[in-house]
A and B are shown apart, each in its own frame.
Chain A
Amino acid sequence: MAPINFVRNEMLAPSAPPVREAGAVKWLRENLFSGVFNTILTLVGIYVIYSIIVAALPWWLNSVWNAGSLSECREIVAAQAGEGATGACWAMIRERWHQFIFGFYPSELYWRPVLAFGLLVAALAPVLFGGQKRNLTMILAVVAAFLLVTLWMAGAPLVVFVLSMAVVLGMIAVAQAGSGKLLWFTALYPALCFWLLWGGSIWLPVVAMLGFVVLGVAYLALVGRTSPMTAAGVGVVLALAWWFILDKPLTEALFAALPWGIEAVASDQFGGFLLAITIGVTAIGFSLPIGILLALGRQSDMLIVKTLCVGFIEFIRGVPLITLLFTASLLLQYFLPPGTNFDIILRVIILVTLFAAAYLAEVIRGGLAALPSGQYEAADALGLDYWRAQRLIILPQALKISIPSIVSTFIGLFKDTTLVAFVGLMDPLKGVTQIVRADINWKGIYWEPYIFVGAIFFVICFGMSRYSMHLERKLKTDHR
């Protein structure tokens, strides 16, 4: 008899894993209850979250959106949820949101900051997403949609409506060919933004921008014949001469001949996020190039340049921002000739820019120091001069390393703009909140303005942070 050999000829069906090794239970065991200590921490955490929700949830659920005053809010909450219940009074935001966003900017001109903001995004897009056609088109399309809605809501004149749509749609068309040409719009944007926000004669920004044209023409005319440094130096001198000598009479003459302009808005009418974004974006935009130059200057072999840069950086980093703001607001006024009224926002922007530049210089110096000296030597070996070596080899790598720190400096700078409240400017957090609370109708309101302002700050700062992560991924060239 042949032995019976049992051979399984089909696979056994896989059985389900034990309960504790699969699904939610496994996740809970591994992540929340993996030991005595962790179990305790989890329970404590759950208790804390539970208490916060129990304390805050009714407040959120009982929110009131339609009321004329805080006491009316309280009555409505009491009527809805019974005596003693608490509720958020968002009616304050409903009534005063425009002051949180625009300060005292004349309400019939709200379309101007709105347009400036939309075009700001459009102007930044080619810088932030250069060479990424899809992203660029998408962002410009969002800007177009944003402007379409907000300009309509702000009651912008039809001409503005059509022109701004033409600009953005034109940019989308150009973007299909490549993002390089769009940078021209970015270069023109500061003048356009200044004119939109402050208004007045159109010749002021135009003539000021011509100073840069003078610089560029002088540089290009001389650069073949002398060294780039000399050419740039002559260009700067000529441009300064243009700004300090020719600028004012020319502007006035042109305005007398062609009085084109829009209604002027004084600086003291700026407030809220309009102020924070104006200060923040300008300071961010100018502090990066200044910071790079300072960082390079600090590394320089030239004694005077190096001493000046080190002195500047250490001085600025050694004093608190508030001190600089008080200097801007109070001391400068003492030293300027009587009768000069140097715009307070401009003073603050200049000092905030210098402050951020000093910090950025140190951040970028960190990036420069992190490069192996082989990179510097390789640049020298290729026969590149100083500026070419920096531009082509050193800075691209150093800046890439510094991206997270640069962006966190920017985020810090943007949040620091709320400190201008101490010099009497209407920042969104303290300035506007204080005037809202000074209204007898809203006196005693506490959390709502903070939550509202905090939420907007969060959105902007979180956006910056996500962008920096995107940039890091995009520029990642190694294989770690």
Chain B
Amino acid sequence: MKKSVFLGVVAATTMVAGVASAQATLETVKARGELICGSNTGLTGFGAPDASGNWVGFDVDLCRAIAAAVFGDPTKVKFVPTTGETRFTALQSGEVDVLIRNSTWTLSRDTELALDFVAVNYYDGQGFMVKSDLGVSSAKELDGATVCIQTGTTTELNLADFFKQNNISYQPVTVADDSEAQRQYLAGACDAYTTDASGLAASRATMPDAANHVILPEIISKEPLGPVVRHGDSNWGDIVRWTYFALLIAEEKGITKANVEEVATSTADEEVKRLLGLSGDMGAKIGLDNAAFKNAIASVGNYGEIFAANIGEGTAINLARGLNALWTQGGLQYAPPFR
């Protein structure tokens, strides 16, 4: 009896807290004067503070774009580093407003955890890296290999599935994190290292003998990474989603950080006019300023620019656009019409 009363009180408190915080994320953010963005504790190219403490990265720029859309100022954002264990709870409990931290969209996270994945800003997939003198050209030839794998991740499960399906065996060497994995792999403790392909590329880029390592062609899993918000506040989800789509449309239409003002004065394209808030009331429809998306583009650039500046070809990480190219160029990045 007592226990059930206690649990009831706990549940009620949680619900009250949950409902109250879910109702108006936008109002909370505006009242606070800054966006709180759940970020990684440090992932090369995607999100980490630099030597002077400024956050930089692919995911970080999306946070800044949202801050620019809400406040017109990309600096009004606070980054809260979250670990793999704390990230979803931090979002649920309202400690962060949006989580942009290379989190994979899965059914159970979308439903059980009461979260909404509003977009996919990076299509990743699990790959393998091996030393080239191993003479392996396909992951299916890795029979009997020792594989370095980070524990407690979905990659571990994918790896088991892949080897089971192909009827080949492997010997896992479990490691705690990426740096440990890289060290073990270089020291020869394992033949292959598996993690997300973007992570492999970043690791390979910094190896002393990068030319002696190859990333195998097989991608054995789908890892759609995207921004996450809480269930129950669809308007806030729309803001995050459409800020992201605005960046995609900007790339599609050739609007860049540098030319956004110029385009705004000269454009005859109706969709661009709506995007930049020159006609229609697209911003107002989701509770923002009409110039919200223009501000977002002006502060961080379009999707392609963000990609190129942080992880794309020309940076040390040197990732190809691949699946993340626009749909017009054979990729999967596709934004619904802006009207």
Contact = CB atoms under 8 A, between A and B. Distances in A.
Contact of B81 (A336, A424, A444, A445): A424
A338 B48 contact: no
B135 interface: no
A424 B41 contact: yes
A423 interface: yes
B300 to A, nearest CB: 19
Interface string A421-451: 1111110000100111111110111100000
B200 to A, nearest CB: 12
Contact of B86 (A104, A107, A329, A336): A329
A99 B94 contact: no
Nearest to A98: B51
Nearest to B50: A439
Interface string A332-350: 0111111100000000000
Contacts of A440: 44-45, 202, 205-206, 315-317
A282 B137 CA distance: 57
Interface string A309-329: 000000000000000001001
Contacts of B18: 334
A424 B83 contact: yes
Given A99-B51, A423-B83, A438-B44, A330 B89 contact: yes
A422 B53 contact: no
B208 A71 contact: yes
A263 interface: no
Interface string B252-273: 0000000000000000000000
B284 interface: no
Nearest to A425: B81
Interface in B51-99: 51-53, 78, 80-83, 85-86, 89-90, 93-95
B17 interface: yes
Contacts of A431: 41, 81
Contacts of A268: 78, 80
A74 interface: yes
A439 B51 contact: yes
Contacts of A104: 49, 53
B43 interface: yes
A21 interface: no
A439 B44 contact: yes
Given A329-B86, A444-B179, A424 B80 contact: yes
Contacts of A441: 316
A435 B86 contact: no
A69 to B, nearest CB: 9
Interface in A64-102: 70-71, 74, 95-96, 99
Interface in B149-167: none
Contacts of A422: 83, 85-86
Contacts of A438: 40, 42-44, 47-48
B217 to A, nearest CB: 24
Given A99-B53, A439-B51, A423 B86 contact: yes
Q: Is the interface of A mostly helix, strand, loop or mixed?
A: helix
Contacts of B183: 446
A334 B17 contact: yes
A326 B41 contact: no
B311 to A, nearest CB: 10
Nearest to B78: A268
B206 A71 contact: yes
Contact of B49 (A339, A425, A435): A435
B203 interface: yes
B202 A338 contact: no
A436 B81 CA distance: 14
A336 B13 CA distance: 9
Contacts of B42: 434-438
Contacts of A435: 41-42, 48-49
A326 B90 CA distance: 11
A75 B325 CA distance: 35
Given A326-B86, A330-B90, A335-B13, A443 B44 contact: yes
A446 B179 contact: yes
A441 B13 CA distance: 47
Contact of A333 (B16, B51, B93, B177): B93
Nearest to B10: A335
A96 B28 CA distance: 36
A104 B208 CA distance: 30
A323 to B, nearest CB: 12
A330 B86 contact: yes
B182 A444 contact: yes
A436 B179 CA distance: 11
Contacts of B17: 334-338
B14 interface: yes
Interface in A266-286: 268-269
Contacts of B50: 439
B193 to A, nearest CB: 12
Nearest to A444: B206
B179 A437 contact: yes
B168 interface: no
Contacts of B40: 438
B329 to A, nearest CB: 26
B136 interface: no
B20 interface: yes
Contacts of A426: 81
Contacts of B317: 440
Contacts of B208: 71, 74
Contact of A444 (B45, B52, B94, B207): B207
A103 B45 CA distance: 20
A338 B31 CA distance: 13
A336 to B, nearest CB: 8
A333 B94 contact: yes
A341 B208 CA distance: 45
Contact of A326 (B85, B94, B177, B178): B85
Nearest to B39: A424
B21 interface: yes
B52 to A, nearest CB: 8
Which 7 pairs from chain A and chain B are nearest by CB? A438-B48, A438-B42, A104-B53, A434-B42, A333-B93, A435-B42, A338-B20
Given A335-B14, A422-B85, 19 more contacts: A71-B206, A96-B51, A99-B53, A104-B53, A330-B86, A330-B90, A333-B94, A334-B17, A338-B16, A338-B21, A338-B94, A424-B80, A438-B47, A439-B48, A440-B44, A443-B44, A444-B207, A446-B179, A446-B182
17 contacts: A71-B208, A326-B86, A333-B95, A336-B17, A339-B21, A339-B28, A421-B83, A423-B83, A426-B81, A434-B177, A435-B49, A437-B179, A438-B40, A439-B50, A440-B315, A441-B316, A444-B179
